[in-house]
Amino acid sequence: MAIEQLFEALPLHYVQHALTKYGAANLGLTLLVTLVVGILADYAWMLYIRSKMPPGPLPWPIVGNTFQLPDVKPWIYFEELSKKFNAPIITFWIGRNPTVWINDAWTASDLLEKRAGIYSSRPRMLVFAELGSGQNNLVNMITTTQAQRERWRVMRKVTHQGVGIQQVRKYRDFQNDESKIVAYDLLKTPEYYVEHFERYATSVVSIVGFGRRVSDAKDPIITEVIAFMHRAASLNVPGKTFPMLMETFPFLAKFPTEIAPWKGGLGRRGKSYRGHDFFYSLAEEAANNPGHEDCYSKFVFREAPKYNLNPQEISSLSGNLFGAGSDTSSSTLVTAVLAMRAFPDTLIPAWEELDRVVGSDRSPTFDDDENLPYMRALVKEVFRWRSVAIIGGQPHAPTQDDYYNGWLIPKQTWVQGNVWAIHHNEREFPDPDRFNPYRHMKDHPDWRPFPGEKGYMTFGWGRRVCSGQALAEQGTWLTVARLVWGFKISPALDAQGIPIPVDIFNYTDGLNMRPRPFKVDIKPRSEAIRQAMVHEGEQALADLAQYEGETKYRMSTFYKK
């Protein structure tokens, strides 16, 4: 029995009888003894379950291992625990709830891919899900019952209509044009490369979802939505401070949000929840726009009666496009620039290959992919070297008790893939912090076996793999190939002309991590290439003119009266 349920189970007449018979002092002692016995019984249960589960640090009563968490980047700590216990998976207790962290690629494949039928559900996520979009969002949906599984399949089917593997091939033309504009903008203001990447990534998903491109890097739809996504991503990182501390003490979530500052504004419903009504309104606005019949919002509203979609589901479906493609894609491109600056020798084979296959009169296209094996390997290494979704997205949960190597993984346990540890395992990736595209070329001595064909696990696993994977991979390959083809990334110089160093470990701390600001010098590789980028950029602007437009909504003012 949970500690918070202990006193609820005491009948009122028992308390009244004890108060009459023994007096207040004795009653207090009785209650204290009852509390201590309850805590000890609960702790005995924790230790019993712990003895059957994968190894891990000894939990304390009630709080588990919560306060052993580091202040930042817990995935590195879990990697160290895995090495300490010499186990591919470890158990770490968040309060009274055991969580299992997978720190090995082959184990992740065994559990989350090969046993996807068991591990396709979600655990209870109080902070990220229950106090947020709940079960209306495909990302959060628990699938332990037949009804839940059927609803999840409906939501996944509708999502794939927007960003599925086959569907995203239809987006290549405008994705290619938006990528050309990135190169064009870098010629003019290279110092704002982060803003250019954010504009590109947001514009692509905005065209997909709402039929409207984002032409200005200062457009609030970029700055506000990406800030919103950063906030959402932070709510999935285990922590010992509020609001994540509510996962350890869930009874604190029962307090009204208005009088509970530790909730950080979470838990407001309806119009007060930042996300639902805003994204629904964006989608509704696009659906009522007479142009661009193929945009995803029109499809969703057209199919809503068929699938009985409610407004919260429509909001989540449209909002997830930004989550799947804006912040993550732009962060990946920033990482690519950092890798190019820190490991310039890796660009020499890429330049030789691009000059041979593509030349200087045009930039790479999707059709060049099969003839650019090193370039393909370089992009794979970008995904591997510093994965954005560093813990593989939301946790999985088995729908039944499961055993792996003799260890128990109880039903509905929080199971998380530690992408950092997986991508930094010396067995598959010797000297893992070195950026080395040859790791992904099977005919090279640096190649090592890895589950699957991709060579990375950046986008998650099984039936819960990131819905935007195909769109992100497609756009990242093209844009990184165009960056490498078009530019030299050199050290920026300080006022004394001394090169400014970069730190390959200086990343943000959220679930979707990106490099903290760093300076580089970005210049075209040749005059012929510069002229080609100018010509292609101007043509791309003309091609994309059909998507110009503006929304009347701003997230920052949407809920203000």
Known binding positions for heme: 466
**DSSP for 473-534?**
HHHHHHHHHHHHHHEEEEE-B-TTSPBPP--TT-B--SSB--BPP--EEEEES-HHHHHHHH
Long-range contacts of 274-277 (CB under 8 A, 24+ apart): 274/228, 274/555, 274/559, 275/132, 275/133, 275/228, 275/315, 275/319, 276/133, 276/136, 276/311, 276/312, 276/315, 276/316, 277/311, 277/315, 277/558, 277/559
Side-chain-side CA neighbours of 240 within 13 Å: the count stands at: 13
Query: 555's torsion region: left (phi>0), alpha (psi -120 to 50) or beta?
Result: alpha
Query: Is residue 261 reached through a cis peptide bond, with omega within 30 degrees of 0 on the bond before it?
Result: no
Q: Shortest CA distance to 284 belongs to which of 300, 303, 306, 308?
A: 300
Q: Give the burial class of 25: count Cβ atoms within 10 A of its Cβ; 0-12 exposed, 13-18 middle, 19 or more buried.
A: exposed
* Annotated binding residues: 466
**DSSP for 101-162?**
EE--HHHHIIIIITTTTTS-B----IIIIIIIIGGGSTTT----SHHHHHHHHHHHHHHHHH
